[in-house]
A and B are shown apart, each in its own frame.
Chain A
Amino acid sequence: MQRHFDRDIEEIKELLLRMGGMVEQQMGDSVRALLDRDTDLAQHVIERDRDIDQMELVIDQKTIELMAVMQPAASDLRFVATIMKINPELERIADLAQDVCERAIELNREPALKPISQLPLLADHAQRMVREALDSFVRGDVELARNVIRQDDVVDQLTEDSFRSLLTYMLENPRNIASAIRLTFIGKYFERMADNATNICEMVVYLVEGKMIKHTPLQ
């Protein structure tokens, strides 16, 4: 039986996916702005963050309305809880993309540092994790979700590696310190985005299996 509730759920799901698309775009653009030293693009990303904030509010509002009116149970309840948890994770990723752009603009005012290999790799990994986290949500694919969670260790390692390289630059020449610290921040931002993707995947497992796997090591 098609329920009125199913249409509401579909609508919220669509909104969340549209927001997911916007967040992926912001992430991708922040990486390009950083690597291409493109201040205009960085500025554009910063401006677009408002749209995502707005989207978060709309989704929150609609989800709360749905709870009040429909009083969902079982998988419906888990769906609503999942949306309530995924929504701020996505918004947070967009905020971090904005942070990347703010640092990129500052970096562009200084001479370019010798590129370090780990940072683009790290950005690439974080982007893939976010994309796959959203895919796992759309398809209810817990296998993919668990795979994404496993990749978090790789990202942590890349963050650590990029920090070590940047530390070397700082030791080589104190004039590198300002830029190297900014790049260290950026590494941390991507690592946080990967954490957000992991949180999304944990909720996908909860949605499908009803199990809270947060704070428990994967088998």
Chain B
Amino acid sequence: MSQTKITVRDFDFYYGSAKVLHGITLDVPENQVTALIGPSGCGKSTFVRSINRMNDIIPEAHGEGTILIDGKNVYGRETDVVSLRRRVGMVFQKSNPFPKSIFDNVAYGLRINGRKTKRDIEQIVEKSLTRAALWDEVKDRLNGSAFALSGGQQQRLCIARALAVDPEILLMDEPASALDPIATTKIEELIYELKSNYTIVIVTHNMQQAARVSDQTAFFMLGKLVEVSDTKTIFMNPKEKMTEDYVTGRFG
């Protein structure tokens, strides 16, 4: 059994007076992949963005309840949001490289985060690109623009950029939904590789993807967590009728 990395208890979230998450209680095990599935608007993205307080930038939005990482309250007064986001990296649906070179994209976080030598930065950039399974494809053009890369490569670059600052948790919000099947497979393989070093939470609309990459799956519906279980159970024999209807495509 893995240790719990993220502990969520009775977590509610509001946009103004609209309550969009209702009493979420969930344990995310360390070094495993947890997939969040559910129909559009069910709150899975809001939930994942609550973990590294990305929602803080939305005016009028606030959360209630508890989210702990290694037992420490994410929403506690003493929590430094910048260092929280260094520990909890994020990859989005649309790859969003900076208008810089491939090298500078990965080095960016390192440079703003601390005083590292040029040699250190070079090593970390190589290591991060290697971990993101991109090094071999870009090692001869590190100074070329990140925009010259294909969509799948850009997404892996964003993963490398997230890995460079050495996070413990990776949040992925539909990281492969804009990619073709080959690029998707590469991202999925990458997720599988990465989980030995990182705790991963992935939001996906693609249920087969959730089935393929995750150890645990949580099904959200209308802002509530309907069922969470090991992925095999969710896809072979879910307990809740609502989960069954969703994974078999009977909704509507």
Residues in A lying within 8 Å of B, measured CB to CB? 1, 3, 5, 71-78, 210
Contacts and interface: CB of A to CB of B under 8 A. Distances in A.
Interface of B: 207-208, 211, 234-238, 243-244, 247-252
Contact of A1 (B237, B238, B243, B250): B250
Contacts of A210: 236-237
14 contacts: A1-B250, A3-B249, A5-B248, A72-B248, A73-B211, A73-B236, A73-B247, A73-B248, A74-B234, A74-B237, A74-B238, A74-B244, A74-B248, A210-B236
Nearest to A4: B249
Given A1-B250, A3-B250, A5-B249, A73 B237 contact: no
Nearest to A211: B237
Nearest to B247: A73
A75 B211 CA distance: 15
Nearest to B243: A74
B250 A78 contact: no
Nearest to B250: A1
A72 B234 CA distance: 12
A76 B247 CA distance: 9
B208 A78 contact: no
Given A71-B208, A210-B236, A210-B237, A76 B252 contact: no
Contact of A78 (B207, B211, B237, B251): B237
Given A74-B238, A74-B243, A77-B235, 11 more contacts: A1-B252, A5-B248, A72-B248, A73-B235, A73-B236, A73-B247, A74-B235, A74-B236, A75-B244, A77-B236, A78-B236
A99 B234 CA distance: 44
B181 to A, nearest CB: 14
Contacts of B237: 74, 78, 210
B233 to A, nearest CB: 9
Nearest to B236: A77
Given A210-B236, A210-B237, A74 B252 contact: no
